[in-house]
């Protein structure tokens, strides 16, 4: 069964450093998302991406964040200058044609720890 994959599974970084989180969505999916979950809190929407551009972004997704689909398979989330409060689990998700009315398939997540 196809699945969303994410790398790395755990990333530790120093405050102020840039990080890139990588995702490979399911191959025939068209809509891509990033969510985050701070430990003990709810899953929060960050950004949606369709047709090679951002569709919608939340208040969390400020200028420090960017997304890219550089090669038709990878979907990346970049945090330019990490803060302590960026420590969280970051989930990538994708959904097939039909978009958000359908199930979103989540990757296993990248645990980001900012020291």
Partner 1 sequence: RKEVEQDPGPFNVPEGATVAFNCTYSNSASQSFFWYRQDCRKEPKLLMSVYSSGNEDGRFTAQLNRASQYISLLIRDSKLSDSATYLCVVNFGGSQGNLIFGKGTKLSVKP
Shortest distance, CB of residue 61 to partner 1, whole angstroms?
Answer: 11
For residues 87, 91, 92, 98, the Cα torsion angle rounded to the nearest 10 degrees is -130
Phi then psi dihedrals of residue 85, to 5 deg? -75, -5
11 binds partner 1, rule: CB under 8 A: no
Considering CB under 8 A, how many residues would be counted as binding partner 1?
28
Shortest distance, CB of residue 49 to partner 1, whole angstroms?
Answer: 9
Among positions 60, 64, 74, 99, the unique one binding partner 1 when judged by CB under 8 A: 99
Residues 23-62 that bind partner 1 (CB under 8 A): 31, 33, 35, 41-45, 48, 50, 55-56, 58
Number of Cβ atoms within 10 Å of the Cβ of 38: 13
SS3 content of the chain, % helix, strand, coil (to 5): 5, 50, 45
Number of Cβ atoms within 10 Å of the Cβ of 88: 22
5 binds partner 1, rule: CB under 8 A: no
Shortest distance, CB of residue 43 to partner 1, whole angstroms?
Answer: 4
């Amino acid at each position: 069964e196809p699945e969303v994959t994410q790398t790395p599974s755990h990333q530790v970084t120093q405050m102020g450093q840039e990080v890139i989180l990588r995702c490979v969505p399911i191959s025939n999916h068209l809509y891509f998302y990033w969510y985050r979950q701070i430990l003990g809190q709810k899953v929060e929407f960050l950004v949606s991406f369709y047709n090679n551009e951002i569709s919608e972004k939340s208040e969390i997704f400020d200028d420090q964040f960017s997304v890219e689909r550089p090669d038709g398979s990878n979907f990346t989330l970049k945090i330019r200058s990490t803060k302590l409060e960026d420590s969280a689990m970051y989930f990538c998700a994708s959904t097939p044609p039909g978009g958000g009315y359908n199930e979103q398939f989540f990757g296993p997540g990248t645990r980001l720890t900012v020291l």
